[in-house]
């Protein structure tokens, strides 16, 4: 049975490390200091400290830290990658457009000078052009469609005609009446209600009384001219004409602030 007293672990650790400070064993950048520390270490530290390993000491393992979740850095990286490229492309496009506009402006100025037009003449041309457009659009909105429409058609007629009246008819030919009762009173001859045959000559007028229903079923031809007057402001064309006036109005007022409509009223309010 081992009766030797157990050595304190802290004391045993101090014996293993020796009396020198552990900081003296750290490497230094300066070569002279490093060599000095190396000589000091070999002089002061015993060999058993160099070869000894603290395997017998109950060292506690550092607590394992929980893995941190990885953040999604892909979108940020993409923004960092594509951001400068997009900015460079936008800058190049902007410079290109500006250069094109400057060239077009220079060409226009040279063309105007070569033609010999002044600013006042240009403004006059713009006023006439925009004023003409606005006035014509206004006239189109106030215009009327006037014409004559010729109608040629047939109207079906179907109804019953009721006749109930007295009228005279004329015989178109001789009419023979058989077994007619005739009464003749003369100075020497008297006949009362004798059956006889009578012939009515053509052209004889007879009074008659008509009481009957006559069905009518026919077509009546119709030919006539119908005058038409349609104001365009009351049709669906009013909206596009008014829209065209609204499109031209800002530019017209920009050149001529005293512009008026066909009624003499100012349009730039």
225 has pLDDT over 60: yes
Work out the pLDDT band at 215, boundaries 50, 70, 90: very high
The domains of the chain are located at 149-227
Name the burial class of residue 19, with classes exposed (0-12), middle (13-18) and buried (19+) by CB atoms within 10 angstroms of its CB.
Answer: exposed
Note the pLDDT tens digit of each residue in 133-142: 888 989 999 9
Helices (H) then strands (E): counts for the chain? 6, 4
Note the pLDDT tens digit of each residue in 16-37: 665 555 555 555 555 444 444 4
Q: Tokens representing 101? A: 């506009």
pLDDT higher for 89 or 12? 89
Gap between the Cα atoms of 201 and 171, Å rounded: 8
188 has pLDDT over 70: yes
Q: Tokens representing 256? A: 């001529």
Q: Is the pTM of this model over 0.75?
A: no
């Amino acid at each position: 049975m081992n009766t030797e007293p157990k050595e304190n672990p802290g004391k045993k650790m101090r014996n293993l490390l020796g009396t020198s400070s552990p900081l003296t064993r750290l490497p230094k950048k300066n070569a002279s200091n490093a060599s000095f520390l190396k000589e000091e270490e070999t002089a002061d530290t015993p060999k058993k400290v160099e070869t000894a390993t603290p395997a017998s000491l109950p060292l506690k393992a550092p607590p394992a830290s929980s893995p941190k979740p990885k953040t999604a850095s892909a979108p940020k990286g993409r923004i960092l990658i594509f951001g400068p490229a997009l900015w460079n492309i936008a800058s190049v496009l902007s410079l290109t457009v500006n250069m094109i506009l400057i060239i077009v402006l220079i060409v226009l100025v040279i063309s105007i000078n070569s033609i010999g037009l002044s600013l006042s003449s240009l403004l006059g041309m713009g006023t006439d052009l925009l004023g003409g457009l606005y006035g014509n659009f206004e006239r189109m909105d106030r215009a009327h469609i006037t014409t004559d429409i010729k109608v040629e058609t047939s109207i079906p007629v179907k109804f019953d005609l009721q006749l109930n009246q007295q009228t005279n008819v004329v015989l178109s030919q001789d009419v023979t009446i058989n077994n007619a009762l005739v009464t003749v009173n003369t100075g020497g001859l008297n006949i009362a209600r004798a059956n006889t045959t009578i012939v009515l000559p053509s052209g004889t007028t007879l009074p008659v009384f008509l009481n009957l229903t006559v069905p009518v079923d026919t077509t009546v031809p119709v030919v006539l001219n119908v005058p038409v007057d349609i104001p365009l402001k009351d049709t669906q064309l009013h909206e596009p004409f008014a829209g065209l006036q609204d499109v031209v109005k800002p530019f017209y007022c920009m050149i001529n602030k005293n512009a008026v409509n066909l009624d003499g009223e100012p349009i730039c309010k």
